Structure 1
Amino acid sequence: MSLLSRSFKVSPICVAVVSALSLAPAVAEEAAAEAVSTTNIERISVTGRSFNDYKVGSASGAMRGDIDLMDTPQSVAVIPDFVTDEQLATNLSEVLVNDSSVTGGSEKWNRQVFSIRGFELSSGSGYLINGQQQWSHYVQPIETLQQVEVLKGPSSMLYGQSGPGGLINMVTKKPTTETIFDLGFDTDEHGSTRFQLDAGGAINEAETIRYRTVLVKQDSTYWREYQDGTNQERDRWLGYLNLEFDITDDLLLSLKYDHTQDKTGIDRGGWLDSDGDLIGGKDIIWDQPWAFTDNTITNMGADITYFISDDWKVKAGFNDQQFNRQRLDSSPSLMSGSEDPFSDGYYVSPFDRYDDWQHKTGYIDFVGNFSTGGLDHQFLLGANMLDYYYGQLKESGEKKQVVMPGQPLPKPDLDYNNDETLYESEYKHYGFYVQDLITINDEWQVLAGVRYDEQKKEGAGNNSYAVSPKFGVIYSPAANGSIYVNYSKSFTPQGIVNNDEDASNGMNLDPEYGEQYEIGTKWELFDGSLLLTGAVFDITVSNVTVQQELETPDPEGNIYMTTQEGEQRHKGFEMGAQGQVSEQWFMTGSMMYLEAEYVTSASDKKSLDGMTPVDAPEWSANIWTRYEMTDNLAFNFGAIYVGERFANTSNTVTKDGYVRFDMGAAYTMDVMGSDVSVRLNVKNLFDEEYLAGGTTTDVTVGEGRHFGLALEAKF
């Protein structure tokens, strides 16, 4: 019996499949009444353009090209910047709440962790910028983004090393021929400020040289407090520039540069006791007030496109990412066997650390359309590469110094700049792929693709190889609807355990391999302005890497142990809606049901057999709407539901489910010929207390009622 057929034994999934697919006859009947013939369907093409501000017609990352979402046999969610601007989003976490298949994890050390369909994304292989892998060990600058694409399920056939849950592809803003000059400012009740400039246009009269630039200055004050009464703060500066040159009518060159400087105090999150309650309340930060992370990230890249003919083109690109970080950390932890730091104190183990990541990526794609024997082909042949380097310097202070709450430890005299502590790791990754989307007739399409990967590291036995196939079939019973099935595999090299508190520190990990079966459906209603989607998935991963928290530290003081054993199986269904419902009403929303568990050896005393991964809720859902009262006044309403989740791999500590409601209003006016808008948003309208992502030692504490005010002027 196949994995897909076994998934139908779960009754909620059966209900979802029947409900989703039952749309087909109803919508097909509606379409048939308007069509001259149901046997000669003409697809309404929406490639590369939006019907409205809430709905996007294509996702460039899903098929490595601007192919219609209706012709993509895969579940994909596209979140446009219009929606996230309405929500006053300031980071990627606030963007991805718009897709319920994505759940947030820990946010310690000024970075954000996410899972898709219950599988955690790797910093090195889970994120793309314009289709190229990005080292995402920091808070991504969303002000430069045109849209965020959530590519669900294995995408190794196109991108090589990547997780089984999917990928996040961030698409940056492009140069424009039309002159734009937007100024923005937003603030909140804590005194945080953010200034933005977004400008673009043609540089010369012939419009053959165009630009787009974004500048951001942000100073944030957070609501949680250090034990000396001060608040965590963040100081961030961002600069982005994209230049396009029409060298000839057939040759296009694009140059990109961005630089981020981001310094913030450290808040590793809250501690949970054995009952799942916050120790010390929701406001307290256990890190010392002198702890900080200071990130410097620079990306320099170029893309060139040559149009060989009307049907064929070749694209090539390169990106060099330099990421440097200093982290002066106090590394707080509970004393062994204690859940009362106010009586027993807690440990502080300070260190000063410098990290140097270098990510060089490149690709070349041949893309073309042709016909053979009455079949139409959308063909892709390509290769990409990744050259990765990591270096670390570190000086540690005295470990496990006992401190009492309210009595901060003085800043230690540490200096990471000591070559004797140098740790280095590097590898090179190559991949070659071919993909063909074959249109047989107006009702049937077939997708077939395969990839070969090779990752090379120094040392015998450290190389990894993989072949990743992908296969899909699309059936279109009507011009506005499709039903698809797909099969795909993932390949995820794991590297070396690099954690001084892990008993497996230094262990070389084997790759993880994933396999997915998916069936889904997509329908466009109201003349194509509203997109409805549904999908059922079954994903199995072998050779799973798991970091377990030890019940008590081992004799060497380690509190974690990383192992690779057994399988991890996630199955469930998801639904989504995005677009325009009526002349004044727009909405985007989704929901997901997920069954996730480890399948491991029962003979292992630390077996996770039958356990659910951390931060994998059974149910999750979200909605965000816009209602336009007049041409100048609009109201927004949103809600986010995240179900009950486990906070540790042994499933002994549970975080309660929660619902968060948000509201907003915006008014636009003409001031001296310029459009000026004022927006007021309230997040967590009913002041719900909740715990977001993270484990028992680094849980993110949900903020209470939060007010945001923004001004924007378009010249």
Structure 2
Amino acid sequence: MQLNRIFVSVTLGLLAVSNSALSLDKSNDENVEVMEVTGSYFNDYQVEDASGAMRSNVSLLETAQAVTVIPETIIDEQLATTLGEVLNNDASLSPGTKQRNREVFSSRGFELSSSTGYLRDGHQHWSHYQQPIETLSRVEVIKGPSSILYGQSAPGGLINMVTKQPTTSPLLEISADTDQNGSTRFMLDAGGEIFEDTAYRAVLVKQDVDFQREYQNGEARERDRFLGSLVVEHNISDNLVLNVHYDRTDDKAGLDTGAWLNDEPDVISDKNVINDFSWSFTDIEVENIGAKLTYFINPDWEMKVGYNEQSFTRQRFESSPSLPSDYQSGDSYDSNPYDRSDDWQFKTVYFDLNGTFTFGGVEHNLLIGANGLDYYYGQLIERGDTVSFTPGQTEPAKPDLDFNRDTSLSVTEYDYYGVYFQDLITLDEHWQVAVGGRYDKQNRDGADNESLLPKVGVLYHPAENSTVYLNYSEGFEPQSSETIEDELDSNFGMEIDATTSKQIELGAKWQFSERLLLNTAIFNIEKTGTLISEQLLDDPLFETVTTQSGKQVHKGFELSAQGAVTDKLFVMTSLMYLSAEFEEDESFEGNTPVDAPKWSASVWTRYELTEQLALNAGLFYQGERFADNANTVLKDAYTRVDIGATYRTNIWDKKVDFRLNVENVLDEDYLAGGGIDNVTIGDGATARIEAKISF
């Protein structure tokens, strides 16, 4: 390992923050009141609520749904740099492909869409890029269909990313981290009062990544990222608060569309060599700007109005290699280069009225709201000539391509809105009922859609610290057309409804010893309405008949524990068993979807040796998974072991944390997410070290 790079980078970072510390005027601290806090020197793992699950401040014990919350403490301890590294902590999520500098995930075996599978602070969020996790205070994994509150979404659930918010207490943290490959990341996190009644939170990140896989010509694959984020909150009055935010991400990286597999499955050619050419790249610019206005009507009622505008532009200069049939190591393959521009514009808005009241001796926690999305996508592309390449030859020169020469513009536009209600009814100290519904309408040329969805949950509390619940929920995903358009199909012109999903979930939650939350859930999810076309024989007029009879069933159970086991031992662990099957499908009936393992598990722990020193250990297991829906290629199970340590000390009266993490410490050779022609090669043992100073 190139440990000299680690020590050089950390030393430079320490020198920078040390000079800043020396320049501080210590007289500013003379009148500061010092408060001594006893107990654990580090934050706890447990979180008591999830804002995205119910769109209101309802505890997890009163939520009739499986939800996992991954707090900032764990994100920091793991030195996570991508959302995928964070989501490893929940076994219900399985990683998919990482091609083209983005990450794909499945929840309970259903792939999450970039456009409908992610939220940020309750807004639908376009997630076709690696998320800026440095701005997040926690990540909420909401499991099962959640369309009632958010509209179109996948059956497996949603990922809600909760951002860091302004703080009135002064905050200034500067950190630097690096790994053995030479990657570096420098980060500033600041907050406090600008003036009376106005506070802010700002995050700046500069990251350079050197990857382990390299191109055919020996060049390293690299990534260059900048992130800037600012949130300002102003108390207009005692009961009216305005929150505005802006962030920008610039992310440019060389392309790696993944490795190729044969039927064994073995990686064809060298696992450390990229099939794309070194001149291929993706260059992304993302901006989010928006505001939220919160009005506290009285102690029991509040109203929120939120708006966010997301601009996502990308240039992708591709070599686009394609896997030939019966390919053997050393054979030639074709690449089909192109230069492409993508422009996505997301405008989201929501209105929520939430409050509690008593009627007829029964308590109600009522939510009434509406949300909407305006979607625009435009594409320009220029394609080049096919290039044949044999490994070992000189890499072909970069072709003269420019998407600006494309005189056509491919455009997709649609909008949708929905209105919803939800009522958590407390009948007595043991029984609660959650009911809700949504009406949703999509306006899209050739694919209009309307949906009406119910949701109901029953909660029983045997004791104050425990819950048994049963819920039923539905979801939907509109299809690309509103009618069957093939004139040779006997159902030509038939209206196509959205695909729908239904879940029944039975679960239990137990708050053990006030600091450890235990969860278990059994679920059955059915997705129906996908199109199936069958050939017609001896029909003089039509060749096929197409129906919405496709059906996919995923069922299983989950176990998890999160919090403090003792005063010194903290744990976040989960386990999932999943049986996923295409029950009725035109091509894959009886098969299992890609990257849906029967068994998966994760464990992350911290043990505090002293008030200054804590040790971490993690284990992440993915069972056997198919690399294709045809189930011809089965990837082996793997177990990845991580270790880490955190040491806290004082330098010049400033708190300094040193963190060391070693991912895949046993150097396990494994295949992660992805299919036959885009599988992700698991990284070998990787050491990362960070120094952070808090002023």
TM-score of the superposed pair, with normalisation by structure 2? 0.89
> Between Structure 1 and Structure 2, how many residues are aligned?
630
How far is 1:398 from its partner? 1.0
| 1:712 matched residue in structure 2 | 692
What's the offset of the Cα at 1:563?
Answer: 11
Number of the residue aligned with 1:59? 50
Partner residue of 1:572 out of 556, 577, 591 = 556
Q: Do structure 1's residue 359 and structure 2's residue 346 form an aligned pair?
A: yes
Contact 1:518 1:535 in 2 (8 A): yes
Q: How far off its partner does 1:403 sit?
A: 4.1
Measure, in 1, the Cα distance between the counterparts of 2:628 and 2:555: 20
> 3-state DSSP class of the match of 1:94?
helix
How far 1:565 sits from its partner (Å)? 5.9
Measured in 1, the distance between the counterparts of 2:241 and 2:575 equals 41
| Structure 1 match to 2:228 | 239
2:435 to 448, 472, 488: 448
| 2:181 paired residue number | 190
Q: 1:541 to 1:346 in 2, by over 3 A?
A: same
In the alignment, is the contact (CA less than 8 A) between 2:646 and 2:657 conserved in 1? yes
For the pair 1:115 / 2:100, whether they are aligned, the reply is: no
- The equivalent residue for 1:225 is 214
Indicate whether 1:651 and 2:610 are aligned: no
Contact kept? 1:667, 1:679, Cα under 8 Å: yes
CA contact (8 A) 2:216 2:395 kept: yes
| Aligned partners of 1:52 and 1:580 also within 8 Å | no
Q: In the alignment, is residue 323 of structure 1 matched against residue 309 of structure 2?
A: no
Question: Equivalents in 1 of 2:467, 2:579: separation in Å?
Answer: 26
Please state how far the C-alpha of 1:609 moved relative to its aligned partner.
1.0
Contiguous gaps of at least 5 residues in structure 2: 1-41, 483-494, 533-545
User: 1:592 — aligned with what?
Assistant: 576
Q: Which moved more, 1:420-429 or 1:402-411?
A: 402-411
8 Å CA contact retained: 2:415, 2:443: yes
**Which among 259, 263, 266 is matched to residue 274 of structure 1?**
263
After TM superposition, the structure 1 = structure 2 runs for residues 40-79 of structure 1, keeping only pairs within 5 Å, are 52-79=43-70
Deviation of 1:418 after TM superposition, in Å, equals: 3.0
CA distance in 1, matches of 2:70, 2:45: 8
Q: Is the Cα–Cα contact under 8 Å of residues 395 and 421 in structure 1 kept in the other structure?
A: no
Which of residues 105, 109, 131 in structure 1 aligns to 2:96? 105
> CA 1:317–1:220 in structure 2 vs 1: closer, same or farther (change >3 Å)?
same
Provide the C-alpha distance between the structure 2 equivalents of 1:193 and 1:453, rounded to a whole number of angstroms: 45
Select which of 482, 488, 494 maps to 2:473: 488
Structure-2 separation of matches of 1:261 and 1:196: 15
Q: Tell me, in whole angstroms, the C-alpha distance in 2 between the residues paired with 1:99 and 1:273.
A: 30
CA distance in 1, matches of 2:634, 2:394: 31
Equivalent residue for 1:142? Answer: 133
| CA shift in 2, pair 1:509/1:647, >3 Å | farther
Establish whether residue 661 from structure 1 lines up as the match of residue 641 from structure 2.
yes
Q: Structure 2 CA distance, aligned partners of 1:369 and 1:308? A: 12
After TM superposition, the structure 1 = structure 2 runs for residues 513-592 of structure 1, keeping only pairs within 5 Å, are 513-526=500-513, 528-544=514-530, 566-592=550-576
Deviation at 1:65, TM superposition (A): 1.1
Match of 1:254 in 2: 243
Identity of aligned residues (%): 52
Compared with structure 1, are the counterparts of its residues 362 and 255 closer, same or farther at alpha carbon in structure 2 (3 Å cutoff)? Answer: same
**Superposed displacement of residue 341, structure 1:** 4.7
Relative to structure 1, the CA distance from residue 564 to residue 118 in structure 2 (aligned partners, 3 Å threshold; closer, same or farther) is: farther
Partner of 2:594: 614
Across the aligned residues of Structure 1 and Structure 2, the Cα RMSD in angstroms comes to: 1.8
Is the partner of 2:403 in helix, strand or coil?
coil
1:614 match: secondary structure: coil
Q: Partner amino acid for 1:670?
A: N
**2:61 is paired with a residue of what secondary structure?**
helix
| CA deviation profile, 1:248-284 (whole Å, cap 9, x unmatched) | 0010000000000000000011100121110013201
**Distance of 1:144 and 1:216 partners within structure 2:** 10
Tell me if structure 1 keeps the 8 A contact 2:531–2:550.
no
The one-letter code sitting in structure 2 at the alignment partner of 1:623 is: V
Supply the distance in 2 between the matched residues of 1:535 and 1:577 (Cα, whole angstroms).
12
**Match of residue 327, structure 2, among 331, 334, 339:** 339
Q: Alpha-carbon deviation of 1:493?
A: 2.0
Q: Does 1:463 align with 2:448?
A: yes
- What corresponds to 1:13 in structure 2? none
1:674 aligns with 2:654: yes
**Do structure 1's residue 87 and structure 2's residue 75 form an aligned pair?**
no
How many Å separate the matches in 1 of 2:277 and 2:524?
Answer: 44
SS at match of 2:462: strand
Pairs within 5 Å for 1:423-434: 423-434=410-421
Q: How far is the alpha carbon of 1:67 from its aligned partner? A: 0.8
SS of aligned partner of 1:308: strand
| SS in structure 2 at match of 1:158 | helix
- Contact 1:495–1:510 under 8 Å retained in 2: no
Q: Which amino acid aligns with 2:560?
A: G
Is the CA contact 2:568–2:607 (under 8 Å) kept in the aligned structure 1? Answer: yes
User: TM-score, normalised to structure 1's length?
Assistant: 0.86
Q: Is the 8 A contact 2:100 2:255 kept in 1?
A: yes
1:689 aligned onto 2:674: no
For the 8 Å contact 1:334–1:341, the answer to whether it is kept is no
Tell me the equivalent position of 1:630: 610
Deviation at 1:545, TM superposition (A): 7.3
Q: Distance in 1 between matches of 2:242 and 2:388?
A: 56
1:390 is matched with 377
Q: CA deviation at 1:407?
A: 2.7
| 8 A Cα contact 1:200 1:213, kept in partner | yes
**How far apart in 1 are the matches of 2:548 and 2:627?**
20
* C-alpha separation in 2, matches of 1:545 and 1:99: 32
- 1:22-78 superposed Cα distances (whole Å, 9 cap, x missing partner): xxxxxxxxxxxxxxxxxxxxxxxxxxxxx9520111100000012100000000000
Deviation readout 1:606-646 (Å, 9 max, x if unpaired): x3111000000000000000000000011001100100000
SS in 2 for 1:333: coil
Any idea what SS the aligned residue of 2:666 has?
coil
CA distance in 1, matches of 2:237, 2:378: 42
Equivalents in 2 of 1:75, 1:534: separation in Å?
8
Separation of aligned partners in 1, 2:362 and 2:104:
43
SS in 2 for 1:417: helix
Code of the aligned partner of 2:279: W
- What letter corresponds to residue 357 of structure 1 in structure 2? W
Letter in 1 for 2:582: Y
